[in-house]
Amino acid sequence: MALAGLWERWENPDKPGEVVESCTIITTAANDLVGELHNRMPAILERGDFGLWLDPDRQSPKGLLPLLRPAGDGILVLRPVSGYVNKPGNEGEECVRGTSQEL
């Protein structure tokens, strides 16, 4: 699965020599499944669109906007998880153990 995103590398004008690397994941309207939980979701690229999205010669947003659509049916599955996943510092298999108890 590939998410549409943007990456940038630039030099901080306030601190010469300091290089900043940043990235973002692009969101779109939620599909029916994700819409049960939230009104938006990451733009998930279809396998056939990977090359188009990553093509450095494509600089016009107009040609890429159609790729930023809700994921098709059957691509995602909802799975209950605990509140443990809501803490950025938490990693590991505990994140997918289930919902019955807070860890």
Question: pLDDT tens digit string along 64-98?
Answer: 999 999 999 889 998 887 888 888 899 888 887 76
Residues 56 and 82 in one domain: no
Domain housing 11: 2-72
Residues 46 and 14 in one domain: yes
Neighbours of 42 (CB within 10 A): 19
pTM: 0.75
Neighbours of 49 (CB within 10 A): 15
56-68, pLDDT tens digit by residue? 998 888 989 999 9
Inter-residue long-range contacts of 36-42, CB under 8 Å, 24+ positions, other chains counted: 36/78, 37/78, 41/70, 41/71, 42/3, 42/4
Residues 16 and 50 in one domain: yes
Residues 99 and 82 in one domain: yes
Q: Alpha-carbon distance 56 to 31, whole Å?
A: 29
Domain count, the chain: 2
Q: Alpha-carbon distance 76 to 3, whole Å?
A: 13
